[in-house]
Amino acid sequence: MAKAGKSPIATAPARRKAAAPLPVSTGFWLLKSEPDAFSWDALVAKGAAGEPWTGVRNYTARNNMKAMRLGDRCFFYHSNEGLAVVGIAEVCALAHPDPTDDSGSGRWECVDVRALAPMPKPVTLSDVKANPKLEKMSLVTSFRLSVQPVRPDEFAEVCRMGGLDPKALQQSSALKARK
């Protein structure tokens, strides 16, 4: 009777675990690269066209890239050798399939980035670790993650430590308007 109206469908079917929501872009990120593989100078050499940030095979890192917006700022960090933030890049193409993904799954994506400004004074990992204002930075807390979110206050602090004049940064972004 009362049962008649109840469809078995009323019980939600077991569904695939929802994908983790993408992080919200703060506008600031950090990209790691081993300078032997792809250095800051190599990115500078690519000029305004920039370079696809390929080869990321970690879901958290990929999701961070998917959350990136055009014009987002990315610290360029040299891992393994150098161990320092050496420049700032900007996102110049939203996430798209990674051309180096040969898994056939279409799972991996990349953004394109281009060099915006070098750090006048590279900010080393030990500089970052020594600064209490940066103790929550992913570079310290999730050091293995290759594409990390950066908070605006962290971005400002690292710029300050690197002697980077925010005005110089704005000036460089005029480059992109010119394109």
Q: What residue ranges bind DNA (CB under 7 A)?
A: 32, 34, 57-60, 79-80, 83, 125-126, 129, 141-146
Sign of CA dihedral 118, 122, 127, 131: negative
Alpha-carbon distance of 110 to 58, in angstroms, equals 11
Alpha-carbon distance of 97 to 151, in angstroms, equals 27
36 versus 165: smaller Cβ distance to DNA:
36
> What burial class does residue 62 get, using C-beta atoms within 10 Å of its C-beta: 0-12 exposed, 13-18 middle, 19+ buried?
buried
Q: Tell me how far, at minimum, the Cβ of 176 lies from DNA, in Å.
A: 28
Q: Tell me how far, at minimum, the Cβ of 86 lies from DNA, in Å.
A: 13
Sign of CA dihedral 98, 140, 137, 82: negative
39 versus 146: smaller Cβ distance to DNA:
146
Q: Tell me how far, at minimum, the Cβ of 127 lies from DNA, in Å.
A: 11
Q: Tell me how far, at minimum, the Cβ of 82 lies from DNA, in Å.
A: 8
> What region, left, alpha or beta, does residue 163 occupy, with left being phi > 0 and alpha being psi -120 to 50 degrees?
left
2 versus 20: smaller Cβ distance to DNA:
20
7 versus 105: smaller Cβ distance to DNA:
105
